[in-house]
Amino acid sequence: SPLPNPSVTAVLNVQKQAMANGAPGALTRIDSGTSSYRISRGQADTAAHAAMDADRRFRVGSVSKSFTTVVLMQLAAEGRLDLDASANTYLPKPLPDDRITVRHLLSHRSGLWDYTNDMFYYTVPGFESVRNKVFTYQELIDLSTAHKVNNEPGAAHSYSNTNFVVLGRLIEHLTGVPMATHYQQRVFEPLKLRNTSYVHPGTAISGSHARGYLRQDDTTLPLVDSTEQTVSWGQSAGAVISNAADLNRFFSSLVSGKLVPQAQLQQMMSMVPVNSDGTQSYGLGLRGRKLSCGVTVYGHTGTVQGYYTYAFTTADGKRSMTSMANTSNNGTVNTVLGGTLEAAFCGTTVA
């Protein structure tokens, strides 16, 4: 059955709530058939008092994991690697457990510890200590393997940035080509994503962009402008820069078979529930969200200092939505912003 029309009013209400809870601004873009809705409010730059608009670029955080997965799945389709082989087959320095497969990494079932738990335990000090740092993949992997694993390989879903840092290392070692080149040649150029880039270890966001504002753990203190950073702590797990139009086109193109063959797409989209009521699931580098009107949407969320992102599309790619609020370390804003999914795909207002 056809989807209800998007509710612009409901999107605006969500954005208003996000701002009431501390976001300087928010943007949402919905692409539905031939219609586009560009909705925004608040400020993109609080010092310059520049208004937010829905075309501005921003850091997408873990939405980057879906880009990395596309590169990996293209290589699998080219016969360059086997998803069910041990990841150690393709790595220069082995992980502590040969039983960890490439598929375990893509589905967050490896059990590898997430080094960001320690790195960002104290939010602003942690951020300030790494914002200009450049890490090698191996340094990040070593931070993880210094800890015991969360679970035996394949035994549980335990989300970890480490998995996608290992995949970046694996792809570069296997091909001898940097991730930046893979992203550019395999994704950004074919889809003409002119507002999407991977500039690691550069710290600037080029062109019209939203500045990001990190909330301190002592919430009585002012927000910290976190716009410029290397995101070297994230790289293939979190360092892509994009905008709402490009993310909508990326996910719509992905599910429409324009980026990976059907055999690989079907594996990416085969979802395993990750919460008790089954409304949230994870496939390979892809999240699933089952909404109140019965539709399941596919995409990814992102949290990087100063930016929350939701970027999802319907299974047929006919309707896509990206929302961003330019703050982070604020769980209420993150949860509230998720209400744009219901507004965009079910036309409903979240209570």
285 or 317: CB nearest ligand HEL: 285
285 touches 68 (CB < 8 A): yes
Residue least distant from ligand HEL (Cβ): 62
Q: Is the dihedral of CA 202, 305, 41, 12 positive or negative?
A: positive
Report which of 63, 56, 170 is spatially closest to residue 112, judged by C-alpha positions: 170
Side chain identity at residue 254, one-letter code: L
Q: Which is nearer to ligand HEL, 149 or 224 (CB)?
A: 224
3-state secondary structure of 144: helix
Whole-number Å distance between alpha carbons of 103 and 93: 18
- From residue 75, give the alpha-carbon distance in Å to each of 65, 87, 119, 249, 298: 15, 14, 31, 22, 22
Q: Among residues 32, 40, 62, 226, which one is catalytic?
A: 62
Q: Given the rule CB under 6 A, which residues bind ligand HEL? A: 61-62, 116, 120, 123, 126, 159, 161, 214, 238, 301-305, 328-329
CB atoms within 10 A of CB 32: 18
Name the minimum Å distance from CB 122 to ligand HEL: 7
Least Å from the CB of residue 8 to ligand HEL: 25
Nearer to ligand HEL, 89 or 335 (CB): 335
Minimum gap (Å) between residue 345 Cβ and ligand HEL:
18
The C-alpha atoms of residue 298 and residue 331 are separated, in whole angstroms, by 22
Nearer to ligand HEL, 28 or 305 (CB): 305
Strands 296-304 and 224-225: unpaired
Residue 120: CB minimum distance to ligand HEL, A: 3
Q: Which is nearer to ligand HEL, 12 or 119 (CB)?
A: 119
Q: What is the DSSP string of 54-70?
A: TT-BEE-GGGHHHHHHH
| Contact of 213 with 22, CB cutoff 8 Å | no
> Minimum CB separation from ligand HEL for residue 111, in Å?
16
Using DSSP's 3-state secondary structure scheme, residue 106 falls into helix
**CA atoms within 13 Å, Cβ hemisphere of 281:** 18
Let me know if 62 is a catalytic residue: yes
Active site residues: 62
